[in-house]
């Protein structure tokens, strides 16, 4: 068939549209979902960038391609992509493939609407409200506000912007120039988005005062108090503390009660970056890690991480009931938020955000939650903790594996000490040599496609592995595999 005749009419030809989509969906089920989550398949098929460019034939040309060519392209894209739902993908704070969440995402994509008005997103405006209400209830709030943002970094930025607006409403119109220098506080273990956000919002990274963390990675409240005093002595105005529930590397939880006390004494906005750890609130057994979170003014929580809802699903939750979000971000665009509509325009939530069009991020979480119930999700969290504990105990049993510390969350951090370095801790170049091990093993595992684990240096510590136990399909056998595979890959080092 001649491409130029047939293809452009696809959009108006329901039979051809259905045939194409069914064929693509077949490829997705076989290649991405079945093979992509099977331990007998590779987690990735590594190619050097130049070779991959050739394989993908990325160039966009003048002529369109046949359906057969397009299907082959779909297969190629999936083949060389990393399978983040694979049981051997431990590389990021997200992993696993929840089928109900994926179902919600496919429906979201097929409906392709924007979350800004009730008019074009009636179901999702109401659903977002209900999902946010549920998340707030888990935080411990019976009222409040909130919104889904494109990722935790932007949720954190929103919190900073809201806190400064609440203190200085004029800054929306007049900007920061007329304000005193502002200071916000977070620990050295915080996510880098706090620094990025301070720069983006015009505060500058200097406005971020870095509070000490203890050896477990938790913010030291006494140092927070001290830093606030120092900032004030320098003429700056403290306005916000960002505590972290589940730090990125160590998985540490800041002591929220003590931090909330400090905030209360000084009249500061307490933001909790619970992007990673927020989902622990679902577990009766482990939610004590976040004790005090109900005293926060705002919470960032990413169900796309531990709950596997799918990128992106990041909620900013607020205790505020004074319409702060809309007052801070609103601009009343008359073409979108007409006040003479035939329904209650309070349902048009689009003016709460700095975006205009905004993706629907609630359905995937809602559908998964409906299927699992609180109980199913709680079991997942508890299971992740239990498997992380299993991994820790196995690490302790084996020679050549050294824990960075006892984890309190599902980030398990450890060194693989290769045979040639075992028992040589006192050698002067031990740490330097040990630091080079993780990058070598990472290269080997990726090139073999057998698994993916992240590594990083941290403070004065050299490179160590961080295994994130989050995929709900994991079992003890996967933990065993992981350690065996490290030993196999590193036996000659």
- Quick one: 99 or 419, whose CB is closer to its own copies? 99
Closest separation between CB of residue 294 and its own copies, Å? Answer: 19
Provide, rounded to whole angstroms, the least separation between the CB of residue 298 and its own copies. Answer: 16
Shorter beta-carbon distance to its own copies: residue 174 or 226: 174
CB of 471 to its own copies, least distance (A): 8
In whole angstroms, what is the distance from residue 235 CA to residue 183 CA?
Answer: 10
Q: CB 400 → its own copies: shortest distance, Å?
A: 21
Which residue(s) pair with 194 in the sheet? none
Choose between 424 and 436: whose C-beta lies nearer to its own copies. 436
Residue 165 CB, nearest distance to its own copies (Å)? 9
Measured distance CA(323)–CA(361) in Å, rounded: 21
For 143, 384, 399, 453, the CA distances from 322, given in Å and listed in that order, are: 11, 38, 58, 44
Considering beta carbons, is residue 258 or 446 the nearer one to its own copies? 446
Minimum distance from CB of 157 to its own copies (Å)?
Answer: 7
* Minimum CB distance to its own copies, residue 180 (Å): 8
H or E element, residue 468: strand 461-468
The one-character DSSP state at 21 is H
If one counts every other C-beta atom within 10 angstroms of the C-beta of residue 356, the result is 12
Q: Please, which residue, 60 or 233, has the CB nearer to its own copies?
A: 60
Q: How far is the CB of 264 from its own copies (least distance, A)?
A: 27
Between 230 and 477, CB nearer to its own copies: 477
Q: Are the C-beta atoms of residues 253 and 245 closer than 8 Å to each other?
A: yes
- Residue with smaller CB distance to its own copies, 268 or 353: 353
Minimum CB distance to its own copies smaller for 46 or for 430: 46
Whichever of 83 and 209 has its CB closer to its own copies, that residue is 83
Of 267 and 334, the one with the shorter C-beta distance to its own copies is: 334
Q: Minimal distance in Å, beta carbon 458 to its own copies?
A: 8
CB of 259 to its own copies, least distance (A): 23
């Amino acid at each position: 068939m001649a491409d130029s005749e047939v293809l452009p009419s696809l959009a108006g030809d329901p039979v051809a549209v259905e045939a194409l989509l069914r064929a693509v969906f077949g490829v997705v089920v076989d290649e991405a979902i079945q093979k992509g989550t099977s331990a007998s398949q590779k987690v990735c098929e590594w190619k050097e960038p130049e070779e991959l460019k050739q394989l993908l034939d990325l160039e966009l040309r003048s002529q369109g391609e046949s359906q057969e060519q397009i299907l082959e392209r779909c297969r190629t894209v999936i083949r060389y992509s990393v399978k983040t739902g694979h049981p051997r993908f431990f590389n990021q704070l997200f992993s696993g493939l929840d089928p109900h969440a994926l179902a919600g995402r496919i429906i979201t994509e097929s409906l392709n609407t924007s979350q800004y008005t009730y008019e074009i997103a009636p179901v999702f405006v109401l659903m977002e409200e209900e999902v946010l209400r549920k998340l707030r209830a888990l935080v411990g709030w019976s009222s409040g506000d909130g919104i889904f943002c494109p990722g935790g970094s932007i949720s954190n930025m929103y919190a900073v912007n809201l806190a400064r607006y609440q203190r200085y409403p004029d800054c929306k119109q007049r900007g920061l120039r007329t304000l005193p220098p502002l200071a916000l506080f977070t620990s050295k273990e915080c996510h880098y988005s706090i620094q990025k956000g301070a720069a983006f919002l015009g505060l500058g990274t200097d406005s971020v005062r870095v509070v000490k963390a203890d050896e477990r990675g938790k913010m030291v409240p006494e140092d927070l108090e001290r830093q606030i005093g120092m900032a004030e002595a320098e003429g700056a105005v403290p306005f916000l503390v960002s505590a972290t529930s589940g730090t990125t590397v160590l998985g540490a939880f800041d002591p929220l009660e003590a931090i909330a006390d400090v905030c209360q004494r000084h009249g500061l906005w307490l933001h909790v970056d619970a992007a990673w750890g927020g989902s622990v609130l679902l577990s009766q057994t482990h939610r004590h890690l976040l004790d005090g979170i109900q005293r926060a003014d705002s919470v960032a929580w990413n169900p796309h991480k531990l709950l596997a809802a799918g990128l992106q699903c990041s909620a900013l939750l607020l205790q505020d009931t004074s319409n702060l979000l809309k007052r801070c971000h609103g601009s009343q665009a008359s073409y979108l938020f007409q006040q003479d509509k035939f329904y209650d325009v309070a349902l048009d939530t689009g003016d709460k955000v700095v975006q205009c069009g905004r993706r629907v991020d609630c359905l995937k979480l809602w559908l998964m939650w409906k299927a699992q119930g609180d109980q199913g999700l709680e079991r997942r969290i508890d299971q992740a903790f239990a498997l992380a504990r299993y991994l820790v105990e196995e690490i302790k049993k084996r020679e050549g594996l050294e824990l960075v510390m006892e984890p309190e969350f599902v980030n398990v951090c450890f060194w693989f000490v290769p045979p040639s370095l075992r028992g040589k801790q006192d050698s002067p170049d031990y740490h330097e040599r040990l630091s080079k091990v993780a990058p070598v093993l990472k290269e080997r595992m990726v090139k073999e496609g057998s698994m993916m684990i992240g590594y990083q240096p941290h403070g004065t510590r050299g490179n160590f592995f961080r295994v994130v136990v989050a995929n709900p399909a994991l079992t003890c056998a996967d933990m065993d595999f992981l350690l065996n595979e490290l030993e196999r890959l590193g036996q000659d080092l």
